[in-house]
């Protein structure tokens, strides 16, 4: 088994790999179509332990409710904290 | 697949005289409606419904280079695999399930014409003119034609995600044109898309466009004509390598080919659908051949066993890998940083903050509704202006608000009509025309600006990306009752008007959530009821403190009821393991297009008018009849009319609030009856009993403040107005659920109002 944790417990700024989706059929289809497929790498843009979690996946920001995020298992790849304020594209 | 198209006249307009049908598909936020607006903006277009579905369809004809193109706007979806109504419709429409067999092929002679490639304009082509004279085509609703071409709209700034749908469409349909939208925005962000390379890789035309600026429209239309002329040349659909699943796809394909009912659909695609767990195709196979059905099931099980993962996960992952592979050297980005600019906007950081976020969201909602109200009725801006000393502006605002202007115009028109008609027609017919039909018609016309304004505000918020952020910031509050942050939309729209609130239910994540918010929406106090509330509260209570208290209590109660009803319905409806948690993409913040918002809300308002108009006018005529006729015939006073009899029959209900005076009881019940058509009816009816003075009429009822308060609560909650009911049906397509909604409202209304009354009576008695 991988070192898997649920998406809602990953800190902001971490890069994770999606391992599995433990959600119902409707939510699964929605996630898959939006690009949250097993094996995808996503960046946690926002996680405040309150409200939805924002992830950057395939160039789009996706907001995931905590209920869903709890059921998405991921593997942390890197855990660098990004200072969002300073890193804006030129 | 057998789908009976029950509603033959789905659209008021049926189309026959056109050369090709072009469907337009795209994910939400790719700018599809902007494109549709660009293409159809000036053309005659119509909105209708998909058969038996609650999803709107928009169609219109555009003429280009002498060819007439019928555009059909498909609902915005992220993919084609899902179980949502939108995805089912798109899927079925693309493979031609809805189409009439006879009209599937060869609508125009040009398609067969060997010279068509050289033809620049068919307008004067003798063969075509002859064809049009000889062949009589049957006019059909747009969905009954299968699409010749599909335009898949993708977003250059989020190409990978939006290409997923385009690729899914390429797997289903052989003739797809890819429109890469927002090409200018992408360029500004340093993203360069090599459209020629993309076109070669996908073997499909790719056209860069900017729908917002109207760039690339001619090129897109030319590409459509060019593609259509070569339609017979290219019949191959895109084949994605599904790796480990390929042997199973091949086996399933050979089984599918043996099934007659599925022969006309793309077999490879059906095989993939079966692996994705498509219940409808499975059912068709089961009903046509038991043996083959068992083989299919065995095949699917074998695939599952071999892969050891959810098949849907595998298929989607591979499809996405295909997209990434294709895009590898198609996109060039100047900047290495993958974090898009838009995440870092200050507004985002504010709205994502724990407590401030929801407060800001509610503030935005409040301001939006404030603007909508002020434009429409002048309230509450007039009160504010008055209190800071600008009486003149305040009264002007009130006088020149949309509703007062319309009231004035329609009032004058009604009087004039009456005067003219009475000179040569009997009174009864004039009464029917003016008080029955025309006043009903004018009522709905006065009511339309509100729906339009609220929808306009909604589209602006949605288009600018603010709506998604509101949903996000309020999600944790709504998650507590099992709903997603999107459930806040009907709540705030409802304060303007319940009709757009119910319409907003279509953005919900699941069918269950949609039903839950539709049942809860009519509890939100709309503008009409707000007026009734203020009118009654200011008369029933002398002390301004009690007035304010009563108004606030009722307002809060309506919000609580919305939350309570939606929460309970969600609990009862919600399936185990299915969650209504938020999954939305957050588009970049941008300036909304007023033009698109205007057009969108106008189309929706018009569609509402078509749906509800007749019913409201008919009901208005019925009410007129009930009011003007009595057992003794026409021309009796109100108190002798059938309406009064109805009120009298209902008067025992008033005992619930301790009203035993029969005269007051029937008048109140009579008002309840009238309020069903429109909530304003609640005060208008009562005012009739004192020559138009509402204050006098209310005081004549002789109610105690407690009784007034109980009745106020009953009036605010007892039943949705007709327009809301029609919209509820339109969104639910089930009379049972609409009836459930009514029963729910009536019973809650009785329990609450009578409960409050008797509770205080008891308290009073004990102390």
Contact: A63, B312; criterion CB under 8 Å? no
Contact: A24, B82; criterion CB under 8 Å? no
Indicate the average pLDDT of chain B.
Answer: 86
Report the range out of A31-40, B396-405, B435-444, B585-594 with the highest average pLDDT.
A31-40
Which parts of B354-398 are beta strand (E)? none
Contact: A26, B79; criterion CB under 8 Å? no
Cβ of B83 under 8 Å from any chain A Cβ? yes
Contacts of A64 in chain B (CB under 8 A): 581-583
Burial of residue B117 (CB within 10 Å: 0-12, 13-18, 19+) is exposed
* Chain A stretch 30-69, residues whose beta carbon is closer than 8 A to a beta carbon of chain B: 30-35, 37-40, 43, 45-46, 48, 50-52, 54, 56-68
φ, ψ for residue B682, nearest 5 deg: -60, -45
The confidence band for B217, taking pLDDT boundaries of 50, 70 and 90, is: very high
pLDDT reading at A86 higher than 90:
no
Kindly report, residue by residue over B529-558, the tens digit of the pLDDT.
998 999 999 999 988 999 999 999 999 999
Cβ of A90 under 8 Å from any chain B Cβ? yes
Closest CA to B599 of B37, B28, B11, B60: B37
Please tell me the predicted confidence (pLDDT) of residue B106: 46
Mean pLDDT of B753-761: 94
Distance from CA of B31 to the nearest CA of A (A): 15
Mean pLDDT of B100-109: 52
Range in B130-134, B655-659, B762-766 the model is least confident about: B130-134
Mean pLDDT of A3-10: 90
Query: In this prediction, what percent of chain B has a pLDDT beyond 90?
Result: 39
- Check the CA dihedral A46-A47-A52-A56 and report its sign: positive
Please tell me the predicted confidence (pLDDT) of residue B12: 42
Please tell me the predicted confidence (pLDDT) of residue B363: 93
Kindly report, residue by residue over B228-262, the tens digit of the pLDDT.
888 766 568 999 999 899 999 999 999 999 998 88
Query: Is there a domain that residue A84 lies in?
Result: no
Task: Check: CB of residue B209 under 8 Å from CB of residue B184.
Answer: no
Report the DSSP beta bridge partners of residue B64: B67
Distance from CA of B490 to the nearest CA of A (A): 19
Cβ of B6 under 8 Å from any chain A Cβ? no
Question: Which of A32, A61, A66 shows the shortest C-beta gap to B313?
Answer: A32
pLDDT reading at B131 higher than 60:
yes
Complex ipTM more than 0.95, yes or no: no
Cβ of A13 under 8 Å from any chain B Cβ? no
Range in A80-89, B84-93, B324-333 the model is least confident about: A80-89
Task: Check: CB of residue B103 under 8 Å from CB of residue B158.
Answer: no
Contact: B476, A60; criterion CB under 8 Å? no
Contacts of B339 in chain A (CB under 8 A): 43, 45, 56, 82, 84, 87, 89
Task: Check: CB of residue A36 under 8 Å from CB of residue A62.
Answer: yes
φ, ψ for residue A76, nearest 5 deg: -75, 130
**In the numeric block, which tokens belong to residue B199?**
């076109």
Query: Is there a domain that residue A90 lies in?
Result: no
Task: Find, in chain B, the residue whose alpha carbon is nearest to that of A67.
Answer: B581
Cis geometry, peptide bond prior to residue B380 (ω within 30 degrees of 0): yes
In whole angstroms, give the CA distance from residue B557 to residue B340: 42
Contact: A87, B337; criterion CB under 8 Å? yes
Mean pLDDT of B178-183: 96
Contact: B586, A66; criterion CB under 8 Å? no
Please tell me the predicted confidence (pLDDT) of residue B298: 95
Please tell me the predicted confidence (pLDDT) of residue B5: 31
pLDDT reading at B594 higher than 80:
yes
Contact: A27, B583; criterion CB under 8 Å? yes
User: What's the domain range around A56?
Assistant: 5-78
Query: Is there a domain that residue A89 lies in?
Result: no
Task: Check: CB of residue B575 under 8 Å from CB of residue A24.
Answer: yes
CATH 2.60.40.10 fits B243-333, yes or no: no
Mean pLDDT of B650-674: 89
Statement: the pTM of the whole predicted model exceeds 0.80? yes
Mean pLDDT of B50-64: 75
CATH architecture of B20-229: 3-Layer(aba) Sandwich (3.40)
More reliable by pLDDT, B134 or B687: B687
| Total number of domains in chain A | 1
Contacts of B475 in chain A (CB under 8 A): 51-52, 63, 65-66
Kindly report, residue by residue over B689-742, the tens digit of the pLDDT.
777 788 888 888 889 999 999 999 999 999 999 999 999 998 898 999 999 999
Query: Is there a domain that residue A9 lies in?
Result: yes
* Chain B stretch 240-279, residues whose beta carbon is closer than 8 A to a beta carbon of chain A: 277
Task: Find, in chain A, the residue whose alpha carbon is nearest to that of B587.
Answer: A61
Contacts of B189 in chain A (CB under 8 A): 89
> Hey, what long-range contacts does A34-38 have (CB within 8 A, 24 or more apart)?
A34/A60, A34/A62, A34/B78, A34/B161, A34/B583, A34/B585, A35/A60, A35/A62, A35/B160, A35/B161, A35/B164, A35/B320, A36/A62, A36/A64, A36/A72, A37/B313, A37/B316, A37/B317, A37/B320, A38/B309, A38/B313, A38/B317
Q: To 10 degrees, the CA torsion angle through B171, B173, B175, B176? A: -60
Kindly report the CATH number assigned to the domain that includes residue A67.
2.30.30.90
How many CB contacts within 8 angstroms connect chain A with chain B?
Answer: 176
φ, ψ for residue B541, nearest 5 deg: -115, 130
Distance from CA of A76 to the nearest CA of B (A): 18
Domain extent listing, chain B: 20-229, 243-333, 349-528+572-593
pLDDT reading at B754 higher than 90:
yes
């Amino acid at each position: 088994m991988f070192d898997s944790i649920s998406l809602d417990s990953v800190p902001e700024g971490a890069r994770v790999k999606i391992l599995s989706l433990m959600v119902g059929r409707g939510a699964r289809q929605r996630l898959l179509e939006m690009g949250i497929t097993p094996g995808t790498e996503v960046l946690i843009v926002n996680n405040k332990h309150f409200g939805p979690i924002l992830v950057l996946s395939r160039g789009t920001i996706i907001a995931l409710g905590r209920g869903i995020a709890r059921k998405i298992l991921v593997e942390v790849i890197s855990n660098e904290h990004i200072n969002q304020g300073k890193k804006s594209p030129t | 697949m057998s789908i009976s198209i029950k509603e033959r006249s789905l659209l008021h307009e049926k189309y026959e005289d056109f050369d090709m049908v072009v469907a337009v598909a795209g994910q939400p936020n790719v700018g599809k409606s902007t494109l549709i607006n660009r293409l159809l903006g000036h053309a005659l277009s119509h909105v209708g419904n998909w058969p038996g579905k609650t999803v709107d369809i928009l169609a219109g004809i555009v003429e280009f280079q002498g060819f007439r193109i019928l555009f059909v706007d498909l609902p915005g979806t992220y993919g084609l695999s899902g179980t949502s109504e939108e995805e089912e419709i798109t899927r079925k429409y693309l493979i031609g399930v809805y189409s009439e067999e006879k009209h599937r092929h060869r609508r125009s002679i040009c398609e067969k014409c060997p010279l068509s490639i050289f033809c620049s304009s068919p307008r004067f082509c003798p063969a075509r003119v002859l064809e049009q004279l000889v062949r009589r085509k049957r006019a059909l609703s747009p969905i009954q034609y299968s699409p010749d071409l599909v335009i898949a709209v993708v977003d250059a700034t989020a190409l990978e995600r939006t290409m997923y749908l385009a690729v899914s469409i390429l797997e289903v349909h052989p003739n797809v044109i890819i429109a890469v939208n927002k090409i200018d925005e992408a360029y500004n962000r340093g993203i360069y898309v090599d459209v020629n390379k993309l076109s070669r890789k996908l073997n499909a035309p790719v056209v860069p466009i900017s729908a917002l600026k109207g760039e690339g429209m001619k090129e897109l239309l030319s590409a459509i004509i060019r593609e259509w002329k070569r339609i017979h040349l290219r019949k191959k659909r895109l084949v994605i390598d599904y790796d480990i699943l390929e042997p199973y796809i091949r086996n399933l394909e050979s089984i599918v080919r043996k099934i007659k009912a599925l022969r006309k659909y793309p077999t490879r695609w059906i095989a993939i659908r079966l692996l994705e767990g498509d219940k409808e195709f499975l059912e068709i196979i089961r009903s046509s051949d038991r043996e083959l059905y068992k083989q299919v099931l065995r095949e699917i099980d074998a695939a599952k066993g071999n892969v050891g993962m959810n098949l849907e996960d595998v298929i989607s992952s591979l499809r996405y890998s295909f997209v990434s592979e294709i895009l590898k050297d198609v996109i060039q980005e100047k900047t290495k940083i993958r974090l898009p600019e838009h995440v870092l906007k200050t507004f985002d950081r504010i709205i994502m903050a724990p407590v401030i976020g929801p407060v800001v969201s509610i503030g935005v909602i409040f301001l939006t509704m404030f603007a909508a109200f002020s434009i429409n009725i002048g309230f509450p801006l007039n009160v504010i202006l008055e209190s800071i000393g600008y009486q003149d502006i305040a009264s002007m605002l009130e006088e020149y608000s949309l509703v007062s202007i319309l009231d004035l115009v329609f009032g004058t028109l009604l009087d004039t009509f009456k005067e003219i008609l009475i000179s040569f027609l009997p009174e009864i017919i004039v009464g029917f025309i003016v008080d029955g039909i025309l006043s009903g018609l004018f009522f709905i016309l006065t009511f339309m600006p509100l729906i339009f304004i609220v929808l306009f505000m909604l589209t602006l918020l949605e288009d600018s990306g603010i709506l998604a952020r509101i949903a996000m910031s309020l999600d944790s509050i709504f998650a507590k009752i099992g709903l997603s942050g999107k459930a806040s939309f009907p709540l705030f729209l409802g304060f303007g008007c319940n009709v757009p609130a119910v319409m907003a239910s279509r953005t919900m994540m699941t069918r269950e959530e949609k039903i839950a918010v539709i049942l809860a929406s009519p509890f939100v106090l709309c503008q009409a009821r707000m007026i009734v509330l203020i009118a009654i509260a200011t008369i029933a209570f002398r002390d301004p403190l009690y007035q304010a208290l009563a108004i606030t209590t009722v307002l809060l109660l309506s919000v609580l009821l919305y939350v309570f009803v939606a929460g309970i319905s969600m609990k009862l409806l919600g399936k185990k393991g299915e969650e209504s948690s938020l999954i939305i993409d957050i588009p970049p913040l941008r300036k909304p297009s007023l033009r698109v918002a205007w057009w969108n809300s106008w189309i929706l308002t018009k569609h509402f008018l078509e749906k509800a108009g007749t019913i409201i006018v008919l009901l208005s005529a019925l009410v007129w009849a009930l009011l003007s006729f009595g057992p003794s015939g026409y021309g009796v006073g109100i108190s002798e009319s059938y309406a009064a009899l109805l009120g009298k029959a209902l008067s025992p209900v008033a005992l619930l609030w301790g009203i035993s005076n029969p005269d007051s009881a029937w008048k109140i019940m009579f008002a309840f009856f009238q309020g069903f058509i429109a909530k304003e009816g609640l005060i208008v009816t009562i005012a009739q009993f004192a020559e138009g003075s509402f204050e006098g009429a209310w005081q004549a009822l002789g109610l105690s403040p407690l009784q007034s308060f109980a009745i106020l609560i009953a009036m605010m909650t007892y039943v949705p107005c007709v327009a809301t009911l029609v919209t509820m049906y339109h969104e639910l397509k089930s009379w049972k659920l609409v009836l459930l909604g009514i029963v729910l409202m009536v019973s809650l209304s009785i329990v609450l109002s009578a409960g409050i009354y008797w509770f205080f009576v008891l308290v009073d008695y004990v102390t």
